[in-house]
Amino acid sequence: MDVQLLTFIIVGASFALYIAIAIWARAGSTTDFYVAGGGVPPVLNGMATAADWMSAASFISMAGLISFMGYDGAVYLMGWTGGYVLLALCLAPYLRKFGKFTVPDFIGDRYYSQTARTVAVFCAIFVCFTYVAGQMRGVGVVFSRFLEVDIVTGVVIGMAIVFFYTVLGGMKGITYTQVAQYCVLIFAYIVPCVFISMMVTGHILPQTAFGATLADGSGMYMLEKLDNLSVELGFNEYTSGTKSTIDVFFITFALMVGTAGLPHVIVRFFTVPKVRDARKSAGWALVFIAILYTTAPALASFGRVNMIETINGKDMQGTPYAEAPTWIKNWEQTGLITFKDKNGDGKMFYAAGSIDDPASQNEVKVDRDIMVLANPEIANLPAWVIALVAAGGVAAALSTSAGLLLVISTSVSHDLLKRNFAPNITDKAELFYARLAAGVAIVIAGYFGINPPGFVAQVVAFAFGLAASSFFPAIIMGIFSKRMNDKGAISGMIAGIAFTAAYIIYFKFVNPAANVPANWWFGISPEGIGTLGMLVNFAVAYGVFKMTDEAPQEIQDLVESIRFPKGAGEASAH
């Protein structure tokens, strides 16, 4: 069977499984729709959280980033992993004890303000739409190659699937669907890496192969070879960093606190029965995430070596384009690989620099988002492995899309409608509007997937900066500063997200030519500016708080009670 037919079968079977689970776990109430009835066991919730978290950015883009950036790509591993430790220790149990459906619900009640709730709603929607754009783009990239449709058609197919199980099942359907999606994506990620690891180094475990000697008898270490290849082709050493220390710190911290402030991740801790289960869920999620994250550096390195040797040949003299392997021709059709024969010798050559720069030897442009998806083809693995990776990529993108769209849906139906404009709305009507909001959100997300503001992981990094600068300070102060008032929190959220969004928009969209270290504030890139936005949030919130009255005594007593996470704490809509 060829790759396309196998892809149709495996991806189609996974879709059928997701739809069947959505029908089985159909939400019958707002509690089911928002927090899965609050009865998800910690292990399953940890697995669902991992799937919710490991988006197209983790599955498709992260290894691609590391493959192209080398040591500098480690900031994504450190930041995203550290965020879960922060969640488990500082946020999850306290938010579960508070017992609300959503992050805006927590902020609205903790800061005793409908204005605070509304600001939080708009922050949630802004963050989630920024994040979901990358997921829909990931779906389009997978489908455009493996189903041989254009990216627009691929995005539309993904929209239809997400619409079905998000609108029908809500959080209950999404949770159990995400458990299945985790199993699909982790299997799809590990299997090809094990194959390639054994081929390249003879080690079955990618994590040990990463630092092992090559299986060709040369005695050379894997990373030593990659360093030599990188230098020979004009790149920096793979194991040496080029980013400034301050930028590495700010990007890592922005990703870390952004993780802890992401509304679609936080809401997962409202779905477990007890407060202690929230901490257990975070621990299990970290275990399940670590399986993929410890594999990613090895996959990135193997893919980099194989790609260079396939394009340039073992002798580094260039491979004749007429003899190019099928994977290059296949990905060329999607526009994600481009070949320009600059010297007219008919050979491909990959090196540092742009293919449009006459001074550069480089003749091949490779989109970093294809590295994981193309890896099995580059290594000549069996067709079923290639199809499995396609199914994993789709599962990763769809699982996170569903969680983000649910946050948008609940923000509109529960936090805006129920808690602001129509407090007497019935449970049935609220559920209808939640599903309607999810449907509208999917259409908007599809548009951003077709017209994305950057490559997948880059877009996601911006979402983390926005979450870091808006939600994280408000939540931390809401838990650990009982005197912090509504005016301080509102001012901080507005200042933080406005500053961060303005910085990102200016350097990425208004004046991208100026996006170089010499023009960045304090040497901080747009990917790391969320950390400075967080500090702006804290500073503005504290300044306004000092000039206004502290929180009422009943709110201080409430905060004091949630600082001691004992008891079950029922999730409540009121």
In order along its 574 residues, the chain shows pLDDT tens digits of 677 788 788 878 887 887 788 777 766 666 666 666 667 888 988 888 888 777 666 777 788 888 888 888 888 888 877 877 787 777 777 877 777 667 888 888 899 888 888 888 888 888 877 777 767 777 777 777 666 777 788 788 878 877 776 776 667 777 888 888 888 888 888 988 998 899 889 889 888 888 889 888 888 898 999 999 999 999 989 988 788 889 999 989 988 888 877 777 777 777 788 777 877 888 888 889 888 888 989 988 988 988 998 899 888 888 999 888 888 888 888 778 899 988 888 999 999 888 888 888 899 998 887 888 888 888 888 888 888 888 887 777 777 777 777 778 877 887 777 777 777 888 788 878 888 888 888 888 888 777 765 555 556 667 778 888 988 899 999 989 999 999 999 999 999 999 998 998 888 778 888 888 889 998 998 889 999 999 999 999 999 999 999 999 999 988 888 776 454 444 444 4
**Cβ atoms of residues 106 and 95 within 8 Å:** yes
In Å, how far are 106, 139, 356 from 160, measured between CA atoms?
32, 12, 38
**Cβ atoms of residues 390 and 7 within 8 Å:** yes
Phi, psi of 454 (to 5 degrees): 155, 180
Contacts of 249 (CB under 8 A, 6+ apart): 528, 531
Supply the pTM of this predicted model: 0.79
User: Residues of 25-39 as b/e, b for ≥16 C-beta within 10 angstroms?
Assistant: bebeebbbbbbbbbe
> For 369-413, how does the pLDDT look when each residue is reduced to its tens digit (9 = 90+)?
788 888 888 888 888 888 888 888 777 777 777 777 777 887 788
Structure tokens at 315: 């002798």
Give helix 486-505 / helix 529-546 axis angle, nearest 10°: 150
DSSP state at residue 219: -
pLDDT value of position 539 = 96
pLDDT value of position 92 = 74
**In a 3-state reduction of DSSP, which class is residue 360?**
coil
User: C-alpha dihedral over 71, 73, 78, 79, to 10 degrees?
Assistant: 150
In Å, how far are 53, 116, 128, 356 from 363, measured between CA atoms?
36, 53, 37, 8
**In a 3-state reduction of DSSP, which class is residue 233?**
coil
pLDDT value of position 367 = 82
**Cβ atoms of residues 88 and 275 within 8 Å:** no
pLDDT value of position 438 = 81
What element of type H or E holds 366? strand 364-366
pLDDT value of position 265 = 76
Cα–Cα distance for residue pair 251/237, rounded to 1 Å: 21
pLDDT value of position 573 = 46
Question: Helices (H), strands (E): how many in the chain?
Answer: 24, 4
Phi, psi of 326 (to 5 degrees): -65, -30
- All domains in the chain, ordered by first residue: 3-302+382-421+430-562 (1.20.1730.10), 309-378 (no CATH)
- Is 74 exposed, middle or buried (CB count within 10 Å of its CB: 0-12, 13-18, 19+)? middle
Residue indicated by tokens 């936090």: 415
Residue indicated by tokens 């299986």: 215
Cα–Cα distance for residue pair 133/459, rounded to 1 Å: 7
Contacts of 349 (CB under 8 A, 6+ apart): 311, 312, 318, 361, 362, 363, 364
**In a 3-state reduction of DSSP, which class is residue 203?**
coil
pLDDT value of position 168 = 66
User: C-alpha dihedral over 96, 124, 288, 304, to 10 degrees?
Assistant: -160
**Cβ atoms of residues 169 and 177 within 8 Å:** yes
| Residue 1 CB neighbour total at 10 angstroms | 11
- At residue 410, what is the residue type? T
Contacts of 359 (CB under 8 A, 6+ apart): 353
pLDDT value of position 282 = 80
| Residue 482 CB neighbour total at 10 angstroms | 20
Cα radius of gyration rounded to whole Å, the chain: 24
CA pseudo-torsion sign 480, 482, 484, 485: positive
Cα–Cα distance for residue pair 500/498, rounded to 1 Å: 6
Residue indicated by tokens 């669907």: 177
